Structure 1
Amino acid sequence: MTVTHQESLTSDLDPVVLYEILRLRVDVFVVEQGCAYPELDGRDVEPTARQFWSTDDDDVAATLRLLHDGEDRRIGRVATAQAARGRGFAGVLMQRAVDECGGRAIHLDAQERLEGWYGRYGFERSGEDFVEDGLVHIPMTRAAR
């Protein structure tokens, strides 16, 4: 078993790797969680969009994306393949993304059940609960440092 953690601007990604990242996101959010929504929202092709992913024997096992929102940053689309959960892949990617932000404020919208997990990386609730695609979410922010 060979595990790697990688990151790249979306524009620099091999098309097959990008396909596998997007397929994992659809598998988790649309199929597994039953949320019919526009997963391909146009933000992945922004010039500064970065993809982070973990592979396990060449299969994409976890992913997240990092976007620029003005001076702040936004982490989203954090997903781990069902068979890879509990192995720490998303945590490694989250820490790498936080480090990449260089002390800037970072925002994300967390599924309510994951508030504590994001809290491990310095995120705190920054607004009221809201329902998106049938799931309760909370806005969270990691303050600039």
Structure 2
Amino acid sequence: MIQIDWKIKSFSQLDIDELYELLKLRVDVFVVEQNCPYPEIDDKDRHPETLHLVGKGKDKGLMAYLRILPPGLSFKEVSIGRVVVGKESRRQGISDTMIKKALDQINRTWPNENIRIGAQVYLKNFYESHGFEAVSESYLEDGIPHIDMIRICS
């Protein structure tokens, strides 16, 4: 099993190299790999309640990342977004671990809150395995099929 050091940080706690790495990973995957020109960098990253889950490998390089948005920023519910694993680190269960860590953090930070996401359609089964249910039809966001999903607080 891969050793990953997971950290939850606010925007102000990210150092300049971490910020560079996470923005580079997001652009490499969401803009370049998925061939989707869109405004990847938004002010949601800097919101004082946004949390950044950063996963670094033994070599201290960034392997995985996601952000957790507070209620009322993207949706009325808490939201998870920008879920990304580097190309060379995929298919090793990292996404499952990362989502579990995010759900644990949300439960600690915003107990009793539902979670809503805008997921890429091809990941529907993955998110269902973590308790999310589809609540919309498929729609295009930046040219990529998405679906809204919700995880009801239990």
How far the C-alpha of 1:3 sits from its partner, in A, is: 2.5
Q: Which amino acid aligns with 2:56?
A: T
Which of residues 64, 84, 88 is equivalent to 2:66? 64
Distance 1:141 1:2 in 2: 30
**Normalised TM-score (structure 1):** 0.94
Deviates more, 1:68-77 or 1:38-47: 68-77
Distance in 2 (alpha carbons) for counterparts of 1:42 and 1:55: 24
Alignment match, 1:38? 39
Does 1:97 find its partner at 2:106?
Answer: no
1:2 offset after TM fit, Å?
Answer: 4.8
Q: Number of residues paired by the alignment?
A: 145
TM-score (norm 2): 0.89
Gaps of 5+ in 2: none
Instruction: Give the partner amino acid of 2:115.
Output: I
| Paired amino acid for 1:60 | L
Secondary structure, in 3 states, of the residue corresponding to 2:78? strand
Moved more, 90-99 or 35-44: 90-99
Alpha-carbon distance in 1 for matches of 2:130, 2:106: 12
Read off the aligned partner of 2:136 and give its amino acid letter: G
Q: Secondary structure at the match of 2:131?
A: coil
Alignment partner of 1:18: what SS?
A: helix
Cα-Cα RMSD: 1.4
Is 63-72 or 73-82 further displaced after alignment?
63-72
Larger strand fraction of residues: 1
> Is the 1:54–1:89 Cα contact (8 Å) retained in structure 2?
no
SS at match of 1:128: coil
Three-state SS of the structure 2 residue aligned to 1:17 is helix
What amino acid is aligned across from residue 52 of structure 1 in structure 2? L
Q: What is the aligned counterpart of 1:121 among 89, 114, 130?
A: 130
Deviation of 1:95 after TM superposition, in Å, equals 0.7
Aligned-partner Cα distance in 1 for 2:13–2:99 = 20
Residue 140 of structure 1: aligned partner: 149
